[in-house]
Amino acid sequence: MSFQHYSLIQAPMAGGISGARFVAEASRAGALGSVGAGYLSGAAILESARGVRDAGGDAFAINLFIPPSQTPDAEQVVKAKAALRSCYAAAGVAMPEQFAPLPSFDEQFEAVLEARPAVFSYTFGRLPRDRMDACRARGIALVGTATSVAEAQALAEDGVDAVVLQGEEAGGHRGSVDPLAPGMALDALLAACRQAVSLPLIAAGGLMDGADMARVMRAGAAAAQLGTAFLRCHEADTAEAEAGPGATGVTRAVSGRWARGLANAWMDERAPQDIAPYPEQHRLTSPLRKGAGADWKSLWAGTGAHRSREMPVAELVRTLEEEWKEQ
Ligand SMILES: Cc1cc2nc3c(=O)[nH]c(=O)nc-3n(C[C@H](O)[C@H](O)[C@H](O)COP(=O)(O)O)c2cc1C
């Protein structure tokens, strides 16, 4: 799989946004569609891949979150749970005693191997050698995510096929290996990595139209990965779409990792101060986000949210390609 074929990648967006129809439409229109499978079980990943293929999507990516290697500090989790009580109460959602576990990464990864997408993309870490080999043996190309030059170099040493450079403008979680690492603006990150890494670089963060795509291509990117631009597409059944464009901010209170979204209770004085490490905080806040209104949902979106356009996925892909070629 060559990245020369793709100028545009529809970013993986976990949490039900990049569903099978959405991804198939992106792929059919000529982008590389991506299934955000970070919260899906193995069975759901296989069903999703089947769904994309049944809907006519040919080449596509499946994306997972690399789990942390350390177990969380139990005391920190107890404190985080206590701090969330007032948030549940303010939102009028009953706080459960038990919190559902996240799907196992081993099971998710086996499903990716079985589904055999053109690309396996991942974020929050590096993929162990044996797992990289397993993908290679099945002809699955590998794409890691970097938010700094050091991370991009580490992924290049691992032998990935391409690196997503995610600038701090990006919607959703910051894909850094260190969950607390600071972000870097996309243009600076791209300029620095262009000198340091000789792999195809995929630019992500705040890119909303063909002119933005042209800017990063001129600066050396092989392709552009857009997430927020797709949030108001008709096929995206999302709370972000309902909330409409708005100002964004960052928070660690939803999941324990930094993430950018439309400003709401998670980013003001109502947010808890004691936060468990990722992914424990994600588990603790999950019932609240599901049960509450927009104030307590995770409305992930990038700094370009106010420029997102409402149209079908395929039309947006065609529009972006046309705008880009006109530049
Ligand atoms: C709603 C939403 C969910 C996201 N989920 C994921 C994900 O599951 N995996 C991932 O690697 N990146 C995820 N991202 C980040 C995107 O891959 C990409 O870096 C980002 O969308 C680019 O910035 P933009 O949103 O300004 O286009 C998500 C982004 C958004 C907006």
Atom of ligand 1 nearest to the CA of 229: 27
pLDDT at 4: 64
Q: Convert the pLDDT of each residue in 206-250 to its tens digit.
A: 999 999 999 999 999 999 999 999 999 988 877 666 666 779 999
Mean pLDDT of 77-90: 97
**Distance (Å) of CA 77 to CA 17, 38, 255, 275, 278:** 29, 22, 12, 8, 10
Per-residue confidence (pLDDT) for residue 120, from 0 to 100: 98
Please report which confidence band the pLDDT of residue 2 belongs to, taking 50, 70 and 90 as the band edges: low
What is the reported pLDDT for 209? Answer: 98
Taking a C-beta distance cutoff of 8 angstroms, is the pair 248, 260 a contact?
A: yes
**pTM > 0.95:** yes
Give 142 or 19, the one with higher predicted confidence.
142
What are the extents of the domains in the chain?
3-326
CB 216 within 8 A of CB 207: yes
Identify which of 60, 65, 164, 228 to mutate to test ligand 1's pocket (most ligand atoms within 8 A of the CB).
Answer: 228
Q: Whose CA is nearest to atom 29 of ligand 1?
A: 172
Torsion of CA 122, 125, 73, 269, to 10 degrees: -70
What pLDDT does 242 receive?
62
Closest CA to 15 of 55, 54, 44: 44
Ligand 1 atom nearest the C-alpha of 208 is 27
Burial letters 117-137, b for 16+ CB under 10 A, else e: bbbbbbbbbbbeeebbebbee
Q: Which atom of ligand 1 is nearest to the CA of 169?
A: 26
- Return the percentage of the chain with pLDDT > 90, whole number: 87
Q: Is the pLDDT of residue 1 over 70?
A: no
Pick the CATH number of 3-326 from 3.30.390.30, 3.40.1500.10, 3.40.50.300, 3.20.20.70: 3.20.20.70
Compute, in angstroms, the gap from residue 97 CA to the centroid of ligand 1. 31
Considering the chain, what is the average pLDDT of its residues?
95
Confidence of residue 180 (pLDDT cuts 50, 70, 90): confident
Report pLDDT digits (tens) over 113-131.
Answer: 999 999 999 999 999 999 9
